[in-house]
Amino acid sequence: GETVSLGAVSVEVVAATGETTAPEFEKLTVDDTKAEIDISDTIDKTTITLVAPDDVDENATKATYTVKVDNAPQGDLTVTVEVNGVEREVIIKDGETSTTFDIDVRVDDYYIDSDDTTVAKIVDHSGGNYEDVTYNNDDDTVVVKDDADVTNVTITATITKTTTIDVSNVDEEASYTVRAYDLDGDEVNVSKVTNTDHDGFGVSSNTSNYGGSAADSEIGSVYNNGEWSSEKLVVEFKEDVLSVDVSFAWKNSQEKAVINFYKDGVKVGETIYDYGGTDTVDDILTLQPSNGEAFDTIEFSGAINDWNYADHDYLINSIAYKEIVSESTELTNGTEEVTFTIQTSNVPDPSHYDYINTFPTAVVEVEDGEGNKTTYTIKLDDNGIGTLTIPANGSTNITATVIEVNGNFEAVNLDNASVELTVSLPETEDDSIIIDEDQTYTLTTNDFGTLGDDITKVKVETLPTNGVLLLSGVAVAAGDEVSISDIESGKLVFKPTENSDADSGFDFKVSDGTNWSADSNTTTIEIIAVADKPTATIDVTKIESSSSSEELIVKVGDKTYNISEIIANKDLYTELSGITNSTSTNKSSVVINEDMDSNDYLKTTNSDDIIVLNGDFGEQWGNAKFEGMSGNDVYVILGDIKGYNNAINDSAGDADVIYLSKSREYYVITDSSNHIVNDSGTGVDFTITQYDDNGNFVGSMRINNIEGIVFGDGSTFGSVEKVETTTTTEEYQVDFSAALTDLDGSESLTVTISNVPEGATFDTDALVNKGNGVWELTIAEGQKSVDYQDIKMTVPEGTKDVDLTITARATETNDNNDGQNYAETTDSDAVLYSSNEINSIELGTSTTNLIFTLDVSGSMNDWVRNSSGNWVTRLDIAVASIKATIEAYEDLGKTEVNLTLFNSTSNNIGWMSANDAINYLEGLSFKNIGYYNNPEYLIQYNNNNINGLSKHAGTDYRDGLKETQTVDFTGHNADTTVAYFISDGKPTENETKVDSDNDNAIKNWKSYVDANIDTLYVVGVGQGADDDYLKVVQVQDGDEVIIVRDESTLGDVLLNTVTQTITGDVSDNIYGGDGEFTIDSIVVDDVTYTKDTFPQEGIKLDGDGTFKFNFDDGTYSYSAKSSEFNEDVTKSFTVNASDEDGDKTSLEVDIKVDITPLSTGTTLSFDLADDTIDLSNINETNIKVIDLENGTKQTISLSSEDLDDLIDTQSHELIIKGDSTDEIKFDDSDNWSKSSEKTQIEGQDGEFYEYTSTSNPNISIFIDDEVKTDL
């Protein structure tokens, strides 16, 4: 019976009070009696409310309104909402109390915008089964606010340089190449338009053929036959480019240019420039890919597919571009400019700028290294990219900062909008050099650390502590700059202080031409001590003197001792010192250069020993002792015997000798009974006591088992035989000097003289014989130089080829661990020697073959005057002249003659004796075989025709020469073969066969002459003789043709050719010396001649003969006629020569002219070994040579009486040849003298000394220089 209000939606039924659970019935019966409830209706109010969202920013994608109702609708509730005047319906589902709807928010952007406001209101509804509904629109508005999206700004720097391409250089290929292509894509020439108001370059192609209207110089596009196409201009850059500044020309306001960018063949950007043009030259336009990417190729073409304007064509006035030099932020020398690229992460607000009159901008502040600031406002393109290029020379840092960007951006982030470029200062490293002392060193760029390619110069900051730097020879001062080019050219050198090994160095900086390195670097110079070469000179001059001395040689039993040699060689023996009372030696040859003091004792070896005491024996108290063991020993005491009880005991041997340096008169020898003994046999056991000049006691010694004693004056005691010897020596003056170059005290000087001849001695004790020809100079410690003049070196007679070498050694103390740090200087002087020469010309002993080829053509019968003025035929003169010539040769010796006669043919008459030839010539005559008014002459012998000779009297040189070549010399040997070719004209037949040296006839003739003829005379006789042909016949080099125009003189001319000649060569007589020798002059008859003054034709020797001399090779000749001499004579001349260092020598040459030679003298030979030859037993006479050259020892005793019987009575000369073992003894030596110079004898090997007799000056003996004599 409960009543509820209208509008209740439920009725609650509850259990009775106190019951908590429903009872469980065993059986429930339901009564169908209805219960009724009355419900009364009431009017309820319902509100629909609009709720606007909070304000949002444009970053939101939507804004959400809420519509709610305070009573859930019964069924769907449709609400009509008006949003900014536009209705929309939203539905609240049945039983729900709210719903939402979204409104779009404007697209989020980066640009500054005003706020957007949205207003909504509920204007209607349907459904919901409400009694009373109201609308709540109080919260109806939402505001979309502008947000602050950030645009990031970056700035980058690129080191660039600007290059401009225009009509002046478009054809060049530098850092760019410009190519043009026509409509078909074929490459054509780049066009150039100049001297107009629209200068520029384009494509040289005609588009009119395709319906285009572009000029044939423009870049144009056309539409033809349904297709668009365009010409293209392509610029290829060698390096990447960021942008180009282009100025177009001849482009009107409707024409469009298409620009494509490529990188490595890939398209990276495109721009169509369709802004207006001026039809002249447009303003500069910067073009670049929209993404700011670098490119290496840009392509220009006309627009296509543009139906608004059919023809697009234009020129390019200029293209300026910035080559990317480096993307590094280091500024270096050579930098021209820096390009800064400013870029926004978002493009500027497109709605704000037309990019014609309005542009977005960036403000850039540039600060240099000195703090100077400059502000630049940069236009940005529609991609938000702008560039700023400023000059830069690499001398100062540059910082560029974007401080403001104007692109209508909501927010700008400039945190990364700054870039700094720093100057890259040049750098290098320390360096070091190692050089030798006194080495001038040329510096290279490698001595200044590692230099970059940009380094242009170095600056010397500090100077070397030791030495000096020189630039082109001028000392460098601190602070001086040196270019790299000068260093590379080798102009910078370091010269250390002379003779110093102190290390050195210098500091330096390097420059790239703009900046210097921040810090100095150091080049250290390590100077290795090197011994400096000392100076050394030596000069050796042979003294024109010799001396004789007797050597002290003794013989004991079978042993021979040269005491003089032992004493001379004492310095070569092993030196003993510090002898005590029990000293022994294992050396067989020793020298003691100190006194043997009291109780000093020396035991020798068991060998043959030489003991030289270069001091006193015994001192005050005596008791010094030599104890000789087995062997034959020699004891040499050069000092005094001092004190008592000294002793020399020799235990064995049968040839032991003591030498005491003083004369015999200073010593007394007594036996065991104190009796004075003056002589003794072998095994001497005596006491020797020495006294001074006043007879005072000096010392004594006992000698036991000694065979003999030799005293300083050569006297002997005991079983000693003195061998009589005389040594002849020669002397040389030696001057030498040496000096250290380095005088700082770090070097020591030693001097040796080598190649000293065996047996040589010097007259100074400063030179010590070290053996093997080496003598060492004694030099005081610290002594830096030596200078010895006029030192006399004495050598055994016959010593040859003296060539001394001085070696000066400077040894460095520093840097000489291995002992090899020394330097040597050598100098040598070889003495220039010469030996005299004897040559002989024996007139009347020579044999001669005369070959005459005589022209007997008809012209030889012409009449001419002879020397007496009488008329004779030319043949008569020729015959008389040839006869006289034959007779002159016959006077020189046996002469044979071969005669060939020729006219147009020829005949060889054959070999004849001189007399037969003369008789034959006398039988020659001409016969006229022609007519009186036309004579023709034929040669005849004894009025008979001669076989082989033509009756035609022509002249054929070829036939005459060919016939002469048939002459056979078999059995006709002679010393000399002389040929005469005599003609009075020229060839009249076969003349072309003999007019050239290349003619076969002449070649054959020359071969024959070269093989058989010593001298060829070609003689032309008379006025008709043609020397052109005769010169061809003369085939011997250097010999002229003899032309005798005056026939009467032919005889004299031919006689002048008759001489006997000897030749010689003095170069064989000059030897030794340093380098090549030169013949300076010769002296003939007291007149001195040089090469320049000696007559080419020769001179006469004392009025006779002809003497010629060749100064270049030393050869000479002497030609003489027997008619010039009536007795034997000797012609002489002197030769003066010098070597390269000025040593001089002279030699005498004797030419003996013998007009009455006899047969060759006899040569005596002796073959018995160890033979003593007694010439008095020889019965031979006319002896010229005694030959002892058989390798055995032989001795000859000579006396003047023997020589008178043996010697060649004509020459009065005797030659003795032999070996070094042979000896000549003169029985009357006082009557003989020996020449100081040696002589060479023509025909004999070796050199000889001349010995002349004072008792018979006509006799000369020439003895081989290897043979010993007692003179």
User: Mean of the per-residue pLDDT values for the chain?
Assistant: 87
pLDDT of residue 1139: 92
> Residue 143 has what pLDDT?
92
Question: Given a cut of 50, is residue 459 above it in pLDDT?
Answer: yes
- Quick one: average pLDDT of 826-830? 92
Fold matches, 1-105+117-138 and 431-528: yes
Q: What is the reported pLDDT for 7?
A: 46
Q: Supply the angle between the helices 914-922 and 874-892 in degrees, to the nearest 10.
A: 170
How much is the pLDDT for 348? 95
One CATH from 3.30.450, 2.60.40, 3.40.50, 2.30.30 for 1062-1154: 2.60.40
Distance CA 921, CA 923 (A): 5
Distance, CA of 877 to CA of 866 (rounded, Å): 7
pLDDT at position 127: 92
Strand partners, 441: 494
Lowest mean pLDDT among 4-18, 179-193, 322-336, 694-708: 4-18
728-830 topology per CATH: Immunoglobulin-like (2.60.40)
User: Above 70 in pLDDT, residue 150?
Assistant: yes
Q: What is the mean pLDDT of residues 872-876?
A: 88
Per-residue confidence (pLDDT) for residue 2, from 0 to 100? 47
Report pLDDT digits (tens) over 1105-1126: 889 999 999 999 888 876 677 7
* Mean pLDDT value across residues 998-1009: 95
Rounded percentage of the chain residues whose pLDDT exceeds 70: 91
Q: For residues 1126 and 1105, what is the distance between their CA atoms, to the nearest angstrom?
A: 13
> What average pLDDT does the segment 296-307 reach?
86
Neighbouring residues of 786: CB distance < 8 A, sequence distance ≥ 6: 736, 737, 738, 739, 749, 751, 777, 779
**Are the beta carbons of 405 and 411 closer than 8 angstroms?**
no
pLDDT at 10 over 70: no
Strand ranges, E, within 250-334: 257-263, 266-273, 285-287, 295-302, 312-326, 330-331
pLDDT score of 12: 52
- What local confidence, expressed as pLDDT, does residue 266 receive? 95
- Quick: pLDDT tens for 946-959: 988 877 668 999 99
Query: What confidence tier does 198 reach under pLDDT thresholds 50, 70, 90?
Result: very high
Q: What is the pLDDT of residue 6?
A: 45
| Structure confidence at residue 3 (pLDDT) | 45
Average pLDDT over residues 586-611: 91
The class level of CATH for 1-105+117-138 reads mainly beta
- Classify domain 841-1058 at the CATH topology level: Rossmann fold (3.40.50)
Confidence tier at 8 by pLDDT (50, 70, 90): very low
* Average pLDDT score over residue span 1233-1260: 79
Q: pLDDT value at position 70?
A: 93
* Residue-wise pLDDT tens digits, 71-123: 999 999 999 999 999 999 999 999 999 999 999 888 888 898 888 899 999 99
Question: pLDDT digits over 767-795, tens only?
Answer: 999 999 999 999 999 999 999 999 999 99
Angle at CA of residue 1128, ends 1127 and 1134, nearest 5°: 130
pLDDT at 179 (0 to 100): 96
Which pLDDT does position 1130 carry in this prediction?
A: 87
Q: Read off the pLDDT of residues 840-864 as tens digits, 9 standing for 90 and up.
A: 877 767 889 999 999 998 888 888 8
Predicted confidence (pLDDT) at residue 208 exceeds the cutoff of 60: yes
Q: Residue range 598-613: average pLDDT? A: 91
Q: Residue 546 has what pLDDT?
A: 58
Q: d(Cα 1105, Cα 1094) in Å, to the nearest integer? A: 16
Sign for the pseudo-dihedral over CA of 1203, 1207, 1213, 1218 = negative
pTM over 0.75? The answer is no
Q: Is the pLDDT of residue 550 over 70?
A: no
Domain assignments of the chain as residue spans, ordered by start: 1-105+117-138, 152-422, 431-528, 551-565+594-725, 728-830, 841-1058, 1062-1154, 1162-1269
The predicted pLDDT at position 322 comes to 78
Provide the token pair at 942.
């004894």
- Look at residue 410 in the predicted model and tell me its pLDDT: 87
Task: Inform me whether the pLDDT recorded for 357 exceeds 60.
Answer: yes
Q: Is the pLDDT of residue 1159 over 60?
A: no
pLDDT 10s digits, 215-274: 888 998 887 777 888 899 999 999 888 889 999 998 887 888 999 999 999 999 998 887
For residue 900, pLDDT beyond 50: yes
Give the pLDDT of residue 35. 59
Q: Which fold has domain 431-528?
A: Immunoglobulin-like (2.60.40)
- pLDDT of 1078: 95
**Rounded distance, CA 99 to CA 106, Å?**
23
Average pLDDT of span 363-389: 92
Identify the CA nearest to 1166 among candidates 1149, 1180, 1156.
1180
Residue 579 has pLDDT above 50, yes or no: yes
Judge whether residue 1191 has pLDDT over 90: no
One-letter amino acid of 494: F
For residues 209 and 990, which has the higher predicted lDDT (pLDDT)?
990
- C-alpha 888, offset from chain centre: 67
Per residue in 702-733, pLDDT (tens digit) is 998 888 899 988 888 988 888 766 667 889 99
* β partners of residue 737: 537, 787
